[in-house]
Amino acid sequence: MPFAGLASPLAGKPMAGPLRVGLVGCGGRGTGAAMQALNADKEVILWSVGDLFADRLESSLSGLKENFGDRVQIPEERRFVGFDAYKKVIEQVDVILFATPPAFRPMHLAAAIEADLHVFCEKPIAVDAHGVRSVLATAKLAQEKGLSLASGFCWRAANGHRAIYNKVHQGGIGDVRHVYGTYLGGGLWYKKRQENWTDMEYQLRNWLYYTAISGDHIAEQAVHSVDKIMWAKNDVPPVSCTAIGGREVRTEEKWGNIYDHFGVMYEWADGSMGHLQCRQQNGAHSENLDRILGSNGVAYVDGWAGKFIIKGDTPWQYDGPGNNMYQTEHDELFASIRSGGAMNQGQDMAHSTLAALMGRMSAYTGQRITWEQALNSEERLTPDKWEFGPGLPAPISKPGQTKFL
């Protein structure tokens, strides 16, 4: 497997017959993930759903019912709303899909693995190192229990990507010296404030723009590119990084406290480097590319255009079929649940998330940050108890002034 993660010493029990699946976080991605789970295995039944908001839950459910009919069996008593919805969905199902904003992931994941569920969870898996450490511990527990834990780092499931990263790992460009990843795009959606919303509801409806809920766009979106840098480096963590970033066009209060651009230079113990550029600025050049520079060639990975090319001593080009990577993720997860094979991507998804967070920490503080510092960071962005009322603190970080915690 190209994304093997932890090997599971205890095989899980093979599962036959109907599988009751739950979805927590019924937004765009969660609804998509539920469809992919239903398509992955004929005996999957969508059995329970949870969301913070009833309106999001109902609109997702009506679309799913329209497409899958009786395989979506969710009477009122198995629909749950609010901050505790995840606990109630967990009680109802065998497999759970998590697609809430990332701030909730560590808490949700821990509860699901504690309750012996197989899990699919979207990236990123945390917004701070406190959450990453929790997910690393949860991933270990899943391994001990023989439970499957699959991540939403979807490019790892794309055929062209698998082929070219495989070539790179087999020495197709010699030693990997430098990886350059870009995620350059425009701004995203915004929800206008309603009169009856508390500050917390407003932030949660517009979660992308609050570092405490999304992790900032380097973690929420560009983490895909960070993940591919990590993939090129065989998931060996970098030793340190130095980053810059800021908000040039995202200056209004409605954009919360996240930045609109980052540039990060990662360094590995073997002297190789990785460079990430990401931005969300309308009207600027768009690009989502990875260029892997080796001692004997360069690999070009263009996921959006579906082009995978190696230039150098041994030229190569991928000309195999494309695939729906989101579907493949679920096909492989459900195959592992059926066989008892227990796929576990927990450690790698936690490390890719931490590499993105380390870039944010460096950009926010203006300091060089080591992997060890990032992993042991005491910054805690999420509250002990989530409730509607006052919003979360949303300071705008200033490099050179903001302290590393």
| Residue numbers at the binding site for ligand NAD (CB under 6 A) | 24-30, 50-53, 56, 83, 85-86, 99-102, 104, 122-123, 152, 154, 204, 220
- Residue 146 CA to residue 291 CA, distance in Å, equals 36
* Minimum distance of ligand NAD from residue 208's CB (angstroms): 8
Q: Please say which residue, 197 or 404, places its beta carbon nearer to ligand NAD.
A: 197
**Which residue, among 274, 199, 290, 190, has the nearest Cα to 233 in the 3D structure?**
274
Q: 45 in helix, strand or coil?
A: strand
Query: 404, 361 in Cβ contact below 8 A?
Result: yes
Please choose, from the candidates 148, 112, 127, 110, the residue with its C-alpha nearest in 3D space to the C-alpha of residue 5: 148
Pick 122 or 260: Cβ nearer ligand NAD: 122
6 CB-near residues (< 8 Å, 6+ apart): 139, 140, 143, 344, 346, 347
* Closest CB to ligand NAD among residues 83, 388: 83
Residue nearest to ligand NAD (CB): 27
- In whole angstroms, how close is the CB of 220 to ligand NAD at the nearest point? 5
DSSP annotation of 147 reads -
| Closer of 26 and 357 to ligand NAD (Cβ) | 26
Residues 123, 218 contacting (CB under 8 angstroms): no
Q: How far is the CB of 302 from ligand NAD (least distance, A)?
A: 16
Least distance to ligand NAD from the beta carbon of 9, Å? 29
Triad 30, 351, 97: Cα angle to 5°: 20
CA distance 256 to 210: 5
Q: Please state the closest distance from residue 140 (CB atom) to ligand NAD, in A.
A: 22
Asked if 335 and 346 count as a contact pair (C-beta separation under 8 A), the reply is: no
Nearest residue (CB) to ligand NAD, 94 versus 122: 122
Q: Based on CB atoms, which residue is closest to ligand NAD, 51 or 348?
A: 51
User: Shortest approach of ligand NAD to residue 13 CB, angstroms?
Assistant: 29
